[in-house]
Amino acid sequence: MKRTLFVAFIILGFGFSLYLAVAPASGKDSKLIRSRNAVPGRYIVVFKDDRSKSTETDPSAASTANVLAGEYNAMIDTIYDTAIKGFSAEMSAKDAEALSRDSRIEFVEEDSVAYVSSVTTNSDWGLDRIDQRELPLNGAFMYSETGANVNVYVIDSGIRPTHTEFGNRASVAFDALTDGQNGIDCNGHGTHVAGTIGSSTYGVAKNARLYGVRVLPCSGFGLVSSMISGVNWVTANRVNPAVVNMSIAVSGISNSLNNAINNSVASGITFIVSAGNNGNDACLYSPATASSALVVGATGNDDARAGYSNFGACVDIFAPGNNITSLSHLSDTGTRLMTGTSMAAPMVAGAAALYLEANPNASPATVANRIKLDATSGSVTNIDTVSPNKLLYTWLDGAQPPTPGSVTIIKEVVSWGGGTSSSESFTYTASNFGLPSFSLVDSDVVPADRVTNANVFLFDESNAITVTENETTGWGLTSISCTETGAEGMPNSQNSTVDLPNRKANIVVEEGESIVCTFRGEQFAPTAAPGSITGRLIDQRGTGLRGQHVTLFDANTGETRSAITNSFGFYSFGELTVSHFYVISVSNSKRYQFTPDSHSFSLDGDMFDMNFTATEHTRGS
């Protein structure tokens, strides 16, 4: 039976891409899978199922490989003895075809190449999303476990173990290449992925042990056979509890890669893989079609599936993948931003490490099911009807997130006539409150007189909230008071403070605590004596302008009064009602243009130097 199989290798995160296209070999019993972008003369050989399905290290794999190599003129470079049983080698096309017909062989695949195409961006939000059920973001990443004593293996482009964010928890475990790098990342993709899993600032599992398994060189061009070498090494050498992150995909389905992953999972390793960046059905690609792997698609900060992210029945869960900040391989302190399902997968790998810290004997199936069961349902948009509507949530297996605190700011007023409401708008500035500024109106109608943040997760004095009321003309701030109420069964302290001279409340929130701060103000009473307005009209030289008309309009009564400037440009209005709103204006003429030509204000008392300056028109010659 003829069949066509398309395979390719891709590091996602818009990271690395490997392309293979597969067509059948001629011949009745041929088991040779051909690749479109094959490396000439290189092949992956997989032994029969009865040997490959065992995940015990097979000491006879080497002898079998050597026997077959001798029979078919193959030059072996890597022997696979654990995840799959077989080898990679150089040989002629004729010998590879003949080897594929051997009864001891399951199949032979042509090896293939990869290339790099990274994307960097400039935002950071992913951790903030995965510890809460709903938007909007609350500005914090909260966690109950840290991944301590869990071992995470990053099959990628290597790692920079000396980065300060790793805190001596990262190391090189294996390098499938012989280019002298000795496992050190010279591309950047692997260090970024590892940082999302377990760096101290940007990581999900901040105390997990991280191991770089390098299978791609600096150029980004790699081989499927190297990927299998990485899976084989981890399967044989991992320390439990163990998680593998593989932010790698193939542009088709690779049986050898899928077999290696499934066998590795069967040995007790939780495997997290990225869904791919093709914007297509993930069931068309490896390793998303490795049935035992947990497959991760990517979302943006609006919970919509990213347009590039693969989707469909082979995806298990979605996680943030757009604009993710993590570590750079260029220095021990650097960071960078990347986008892709490569960035989403390590979020889930970190969550797996959190669960395994609390449940170190859990099987890979248990870990995967727990992550899927505890995911937030129904929040992902831009998906088809087959894709799971599940977004990663890191409080797994009944672990309870902290109870949020609540802060409410209320404005209460007393008008000069004794009323308890006003149409005056009072403005505020704030820090750590979620709103940098806001305004309140005590019109005796809720909620205009108050604002509440009911999801405060930044606790204690180091994260204190400050709220300051700005000055408002005609009003004084008479008191600020804060009432703190603890949640049932939770201790709380009355540790918020007020600073009336500086019009500020310093609010210290504890877990579950509800705090209400009330800013009380009174309107200044109008002065008993009437007010006055005096000023002068001058030209740009400061010379007073005689005989100019000035008009004063009382908006409260509708009365209009006029005055004419004297020889020195002065005018005045007396016997004015204080607290009324006035508009004063001057008349422009053919000779003089005033800018501005009016002012408006509430009169609090006598007002001096309400001056207007004129520009004199010049006559043309």
Q: Which residues are catalytic?
A: 156, 189, 342
Burial call 55-76: b when 16+ CB within 10 Å, e when fewer: beebeebeebbeebbeebebeb
106/389 Cα distance (integer angstroms): 37
Count CB neighbours of 333 within 10 A. 10
Cβ proximity of 404 and 392 under 8 Å: no
85/46 Cα distance (integer angstroms): 6
- The encoded tokens of residue 567 equal 């020889």
Which residue in 191, 119, 117 sits closest to 337, CA to CA? 119
303/320 Cα distance (integer angstroms): 8
- The encoded tokens of residue 163 equal 């980065």
Which residue in 469, 477, 476, 467 sits closest to 426, CA to CA? 469
**598 to each of 456, 516, 605, how far by Cα in Å?**
47, 43, 19
User: Distance from CA of residue 589 to its chain's centroid?
Assistant: 62
Cβ proximity of 531 and 603 under 8 Å: yes
Cβ proximity of 460 and 508 under 8 Å: yes
Name residue 562's beta-bridge partners. Answer: 551
Backbone angles phi, psi at 528, to 5 degrees: -65, -40
